């Protein structure tokens, strides 16, 4: 089976069949401009962050542009074996470090640290699977935490991706959160869509081979509506700040839907 990280990049890269070259150049320029002198990429507070650095890397890979590997390696190496990092940032460190040659001792320490983090949600298990693509299948021995239909959309999508038993119910619940004008709502209590919920729901549903005919054009238009003059994407209509995380979510949304068309799921 194709590793999860590769599946994400392969799906998002399909956006290149839809987007014009000037748009791709502008997005890549936006991502490159977010890099700090220490090699990391900045988030909303301007500071370098492993989380945003991973998104910058996969954005550049998705867009087919050169990645400044030496600067990124130096930044990631400064975190050692990830002591005291939370699960999210440890996963990001592992994803960066495993892209480079590494001593066996360092690799073992990184994944030992990962084992010490118990996934307390489907999203947590998704993260561990995302990190373990180059390692094996530690997370396959972990039970999927309970998922309820009232959970946030990204958690339901994560559960569907990692193989929840109630997959048909999850599919129906996700589809019920599709907004008629485009995008997916973050929960059954919030009607306005956001890009995180849209990207995760679309990727999960397309991965499952769900027919997306009625959702393709509205969701692509919704993602496009969040593109800003800087070349980056914002998280939702009222968001006044664009970053590399949401830029990847836009590419994943568009790419996944283009992929569904190519496979004949939709028109």
Q: Judge whether 128 and 138 are in contact, CB under 8 Å.
A: yes
In tens, the pLDDT along 6-49 reads: 999 999 999 999 999 999 999 999 999 999 999 999 998 999 99
What mean pLDDT is predicted for residues 82-111? 88
Residue 128 DSSP code: H
Q: Judge whether 216 and 267 are in contact, CB under 8 Å.
A: yes
Is residue 265 predicted with pLDDT exceeding 60?
Answer: no
What mean pLDDT is predicted for residues 66-91? 94
Q: Judge whether 185 and 153 are in contact, CB under 8 Å.
A: yes
pTM: 0.93
In tens, the pLDDT along 145-191 reads: 888 889 999 999 999 998 866 789 999 999 999 999 999 999 999 99
Residue 239 CB partners (closer than 8 Å, separation 6+): 226, 246
Q: Judge whether 56 and 68 are in contact, CB under 8 Å.
A: no
Collapsing DSSP to helix, strand or coil, 36 comes out as coil
Please tell me the predicted confidence (pLDDT) of residue 266.
42
Is residue 137 predicted with pLDDT exceeding 90?
Answer: no
* Structural domains of the chain, ranges and CATH numbers in brackets: 4-262 (1.50.10.20)
Q: Which residue has the higher pLDDT, 262 or 187?
A: 187
Indicate the burial class of 138 (C-beta count within 10 angstroms; 0-12, 13-18, 19 or more): middle
Please tell me the predicted confidence (pLDDT) of residue 132.
77
DSSP letter for each residue of 172-202: HHHHHTB-TTSSB-SBTTB-S-BHHHHHHHH
């Amino acid at each position: 089976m194709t590793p999860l990280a590769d599946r994400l990049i392969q799906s998002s890269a399909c956006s290149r069949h839809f987007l014009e070259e000037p748009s791709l150049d502008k997005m890549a320029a936006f991502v490159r401009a977010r890099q700090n002198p220490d090699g990391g990429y900045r988030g909303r507070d301007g500071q370098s962050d492993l989380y945003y650095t991973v998104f910058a890397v996969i954005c550049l890979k998705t867009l087919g542009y050169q990645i400044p590997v030496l600067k990124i390696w130096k930044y990631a190496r400064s975190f050692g074996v990830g002591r005291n990092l939370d699960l999210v940032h440890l996963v990001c460190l592992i994803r960066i470090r495993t892209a480079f040659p590494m001593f066996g001792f360092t690799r073992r320490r990184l994944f030992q640290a990962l084992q010490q983090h118990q996934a307390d949600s489907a999203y947590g298990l998704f993260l561990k699977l995302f990190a373990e693509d180059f390692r094996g299948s530690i997370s396959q021995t972990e039970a999927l935490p309970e998922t309820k239909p009232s959970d946030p959309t990204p958690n339901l999508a994560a559960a569907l991706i990692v193989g929840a038993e109630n997959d048909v119910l999850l599919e129906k619940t996700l589809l019920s959160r599709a907004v008629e004008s485009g995008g997916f709502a973050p929960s059954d209590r919030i009607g306005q869509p956001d890009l995180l919920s849209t990207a995760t729901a679309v990727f999960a549903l397309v991965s499952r081979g769900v027919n997306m005919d009625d959702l393709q054009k509205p969701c692509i238009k919704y993602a496009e509506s969040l593109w800003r003059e800087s070349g980056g994407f914002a998280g939702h209509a009222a968001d006044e700040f664009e970053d590399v995380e949401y830029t990847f979510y836009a590419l994943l949304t568009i790419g996944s839907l283009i992929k569904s068309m190519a496979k004949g799921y939709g028109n």
